[in-house]
Structures are given as structure tokens and as C-alpha cells.
Structure 1
Amino acid sequence: MTLPTYEQAMGTSREGAPFSNGTEGECWMGQHCYRCVNDKPAREGREQDGCVLILVALDQRTPAEWIEDQPFSLYHRYRCLYFRDEDDGGGGSEPEPIPDPPGQLALAPREPLERPARMFAPTAQDVRPVTEAVTP
């Protein structure tokens, strides 16, 4: 699943900043964006190849790909549909189809029935405990 272009992401974004201040943004992005394979090029010095959803958020708009999850949590306020942890394993960011079992006859061809997008699956971030406590 490839990221949308900046124009597509900006066109589908919601009005309003996703975070009320920089601390909220840094906490959430530190838990998600800074570990995601989609923003890895930016961390390696190729900012032009980084995640466009971050650019939309910096333009004071909330990307449609960020679904509100726990609105009162600094670390889990949104779930990004394109998040893929670097530690999840696998070769690329594209999901691979499940192969047919050997010797199994297919009743119908799979291609027209397969969806172009992948479903959300729990990642390492869902089971990883938050070790930093936030004090007011």
C-alpha cells in the first residue's frame, strides 16, 4: 500500500491541527512516525522522500489516514492507516498475498476477490508498554 501524494492527502484531510501543541505532536510522532518505514528516508537525510502525512499535519490539517483512537492519550491519540513498524519484519512495506496450499484446488480465481488495500493488523506498538510516564 503506497502513500498518497501530498495533494491527495491534503485534499482528503480534515480542518484543524491534529495536536494542540508541539509536545503532543512530538509524543505521538515519537511513538509512531519516528519508527515507521514510510518516514525512514527522512530520518536518513532524504526529506523529500519522507511521509507526506507529516507534512499535512505540519500544515495544521489532520490527515484522513489518522483515525482517532484514544483522544486523551499522548501516545495513542490516532491510529495511522499507513503505519508499519521497522521491527515488524518482512521485506517491504507492501503486504504479500497468502499463497494457495500446495495440491489444493481453487473453486474460484482469487484475483478478482482480493482487496487492493490491506486490513489493519495489530503491530508491535500495540503490545509494547509505554515506559515513560507523563506528569503534569
Structure 2
Amino acid sequence: MSLPTYEEADARAREGSPFSNGTEDYAWMGNWCGRCIHDAPTRRDEWDKGCPLILIAYLGKTPAEWLESDPLSLADRYTCLMFRPEDDPGPDEPTPVPDPAGQLTLCPREPYERPARMYADTRLIPERLP
């Protein structure tokens, strides 16, 4: 799954700012964006190549790629589905899991495989439930 363009992210974004003040913004972005490969160009002063999701947030909308996970934690309030650590050598797109050797296939796998790679655990964790 590749990073959306600004126009695609803006069309899917929810109205309303994701953060109520600068402290929440700095805490969350320091934990997620500060070590993400998509925002690395911005840290090198290449502003035109930065992550479009951050721009959406600065303009007062919440990106659809940010799932609310722990509203009481400043650093983990949202889970960014596009997050990839800078040292992640993996490809941008997922690679299919090979069929086990010697196993017959009853039906094609392609229609049933997920089209995107999840970068974060989005399951509800019982300890975090309100």
C-alpha cells in the first residue's frame, strides 16, 4: 500500500482537528512521524517531499489513515496505517506468501488475499478499552 497523495488524503479525511493543542501534536508526531520513513525528507529540509497526512492534520482535518487507538495517551492516541520505521528494508507493496511445497491448490488465492500490508496492530486490546 503506497502513501496517498495530498488530494486523495484530503478527500478521505474527517472534519475536525486530530489534536486539541500543540502538546498533543508534538507528543504524537514525535512518537510516530519522527521515526517514519515517509516524513524523513521533511527532516532533511525537503519540504515538498514530506508526508501529506501531516499537512492534512495541520489544516484541521483528521486523516482516515489515522485510527483512534488510545485517547488517553498522548503518544499513542492514533495508529497510523502508513507508518514504516526508517530502518524498514521491506518493499512498499506486500509480497505474496508462497504456496507450501507439494500442496495442491483447490482454488486461486488471489481473490482472497488482502491487497494491503498492515503496519500496525489495529485490534482492540482489552486493557485499552474504556
TM range (shorter): 0.7 to 0.9
Q: What's 2:4 paired with?
A: 4
Q: Does 1:41 align with 2:41?
A: yes
Q: Distance in 1 between matches of 2:43 and 2:102?
A: 45
Q: Does 1:85 align with 2:94?
A: no
| Structure 1, unaligned runs of 5 or more | 123-136
The 3-state SS of whatever aligns with 1:86 is coil
Structure of higher RCO (CA pairs closer than 8 Å, 6+ residues apart): 2
Q: Distance in 2 between matches of 1:32 and 1:105?
A: 43
1:21 positional shift: 1.2
- Judging changes above 3 Å, is the alpha-carbon distance between structure 1 residues 69 and 49 closer, same or farther for their aligned structure 2 residues? same
Q: Distance in 1 between matches of 2:91 and 2:108?
A: 25
| Structure 2, unaligned runs of 5 or more | 122-130
CA RMSD, Structure 1 to Structure 2 (Å): 1.8
Q: What's 1:58 paired with?
A: 58
Q: What's 1:128 paired with?
A: none
Alignment of 1:1-136 (within 5 A): 1-87=1-87, 89-119=88-118, 121-122=120-121
> Identity across aligned pairs (percent)?
59
TM-score where L is the length of structure 1: 0.78
The structure 1 segments of at least 4 consecutive aligned residues displaced by more than 6 Å after TM superposition are none
Q: Which residue identity does 1:13 align to in structure 2?
A: A
Q: What's 2:126 paired with?
A: none
**Count of matched residue positions in the alignment of Structure 1 and Structure 2:** 121
